[in-house]
Amino acid sequence: MKAQFGIIGLATMGQNLALNIARHNFSVAGYNRSAERTQALMARVKDEPILPTFALSEFVSVLARPRAILLMVQAGRPVDEVLSELFPLLEPGDLLIDGGNSHFADTERRIREAESRGLLYLGVGISGGEAGALKGPALMAGGHVEGYARVEPIFKAIAAQGLDGPCTGYFGPGGSGHYVKMVHNGIEYAIMQIIAECYDLLKRGLGFTPPEIAAVFAEWNQGELESYLLGITVDILRTRDSETGGFLVEAIKDAAEQKGTGKWSTQAALDLGAPTPTIAEAVFARIVSALKEERLGAEKILPGPTPRLSLAPRELLEDLRKAYALALVTAYAQGFRQLQDASSEHGYGFSLAEVARVWTAGCIIRARMLGVMREAFQREPNLPLLVLAEPFRKLWHEGQGSLRNVVCLAHRAGIPVPAFSSTLNFLDSYRTGRLPANLIQAQRDYFGAHTYERLDRPGKFHTRWEEAPRC
């Protein structure tokens, strides 16, 4: 019997997806360059319809035609290396699916190569981590729509179940699926940084212990602020170190790593001219955190204020909750704005309401607020920024004073809050009808003759500034 679906790359994510698919009664063939991983998968198999293979030609031969093959290999050159081996073995009409965190531009290049060979190609962002892969991820697909139609029954079966059905969706041609996943990861960076800043303000600013901070976050997580990332943070803060008996989070080195997708999101936003400063600051915060030895040296020669907040804990907690809510919404708002701009630039045709729906379950940035965000985009598909619509506009009215207070208190205490600060600067800039960019345009025209526009009449203008009359 031929397998209905094939997976190349059987590390933990690949193994878990294979088991997930097989447990929904779709037969799966698996292949990995290292036979040990294939054997590790089979050691987990009970009665699931999974067929192990130990050569790429064998793998291709056991798949039902037209073939559907999911690549779960490291993004970048490894994907191209596998494709170069796989292309000669395939036939027109076969479907290739890249389920890794590939750059959207690489996906578009590979789609063109696949088309030249008569093949179908999908770039699919998969979120949810190892547990999601086994129990139900969020799937963001782009590429050939007929390819998605072919595997949609499988994707719907294995995806997380959200508010309105399975968390899988087709988002358009080319690299659109991987673009959505890239922005998802940028938002993820921002949310993690915002939570980390709350943790730092409570720990260093108020002297709270990890369990006390966990209690605060657990209370927030009961209402409208409920999210996966906040929930796992509660678990982390309550976890003991089996070696020392202390709290494990305090034994972990304060240098955050990254795999590149957050950086790509910021780079792509800059290419578009999309305003995502909170996301960008989260990326830079990780970069600064990696300078551990330099920071230890600078701590000795660049003294600052004592990191204690001059506010009663009860007052700060209320301000911090409101600031967190506003920053959280702003991170999503910036990500959705980038998707909107990318849709216009690349012709993806994104439905932001559909993106929000797919993110309601299974993925790392799932949160209760996403259901309300979906409703906002259903009412106004071209909404330029979430904070302009209710109920998010209300968060600004009720929370801007708290956000200002948190940022001011943190700065006075010398506690860095790049995500909170960038959120406030962004929103203040966005709501300001006249910014000082007129001076910047004049400077550009002075030294480079770049021209400028005027407020009182249309057109482009240039002034010979050295010869112009002065007061």
Q: What is the pLDDT of residue 30?
A: 97
Lookup: tokens for 78 = 């490894």
Asked whether residue 440 falls in the same domain as residue 424, the answer is no
From residue 130, how far is each of 16, 136, 339, 446, 465 by CA, in Å?
A: 7, 10, 26, 56, 61
Q: What is the pLDDT of residue 102?
A: 95
Q: What is the pLDDT of residue 317?
A: 95
- Burial status of residue 76 (CB atoms within 10 A of its CB: 0-12, 13-18, 19 or more): middle
Q: What is the CATH number of the domain that holds 471?
A: 1.20.5.320
Separation CA 137–CA 155 (nearest Å): 9
Q: What is the pLDDT of residue 198?
A: 98
Asked whether residue 344 falls in the same domain as residue 455, the answer is no
Q: What is the pLDDT of residue 311?
A: 78
Q: How many domains does the chain have?
A: 3
Separation CA 195–CA 313 (nearest Å): 17
Domain that holds residue 409: 181-430
Q: What is the CATH number of the domain that holds 222?
A: 1.10.1040.10
Asked whether residue 220 falls in the same domain as residue 155, the answer is no
Q: Hey, is 23 helix, strand or coil?
A: coil
Asked whether residue 380 falls in the same domain as residue 418, the answer is yes
Assessment of whether the complete model's pTM goes beyond 0.85: yes
Separation CA 223–CA 38 (nearest Å): 43
Separation CA 250–CA 257 (nearest Å): 17
Asked whether residue 340 falls in the same domain as residue 384, the answer is yes
Q: What is the pLDDT of residue 260?
A: 78
Mean pLDDT by 10 residues, the chain (471 residues): 95 96 97 95 94 96 97 94 96 97 96 97 96 96 98 98 93 97 97 98 96 98 96 98 94 88 93 97 96 96 93 89 98 98 96 97 96 97 96 96 97 97 98 97 96 97 95 90
Q: Give the active site residue among 81, 108, 115, 181.
A: 181
Separation CA 49–CA 18 (nearest Å): 10
From residue 126, how far is each of 8, 24, 164, 333 by CA, in Å?
A: 15, 18, 19, 21
Asked whether residue 426 falls in the same domain as residue 441, the answer is no
Asked whether residue 379 falls in the same domain as residue 236, the answer is yes
Q: What is the pLDDT of residue 470?
A: 93
Asked whether residue 28 falls in the same domain as residue 125, the answer is yes
Asked whether residue 155 falls in the same domain as residue 185, the answer is no
Q: What is the pLDDT of residue 428?
A: 98
Q: What is the pLDDT of residue 312?
A: 82
Residue corresponding to tokens 């989070």: 249
Asked whether residue 233 falls in the same domain as residue 152, the answer is no
Q: What is the CATH number of the domain that holds 17?
A: 3.40.50.720
Q: What is the pLDDT of residue 294?
A: 97
Q: Give the active site residue among 36, 108, 156, 188.
A: 188
Q: What is the pLDDT of residue 315?
A: 87
- Answer for the pair 187, 181: CB distance below 8 angstroms, yes or no: no
For the question of residue 181 being annotated catalytic, the response is yes
For the question of residue 315 being annotated catalytic, the response is no
> Which amino acid makes up residue 304?
G
Asked whether residue 111 falls in the same domain as residue 19, the answer is yes
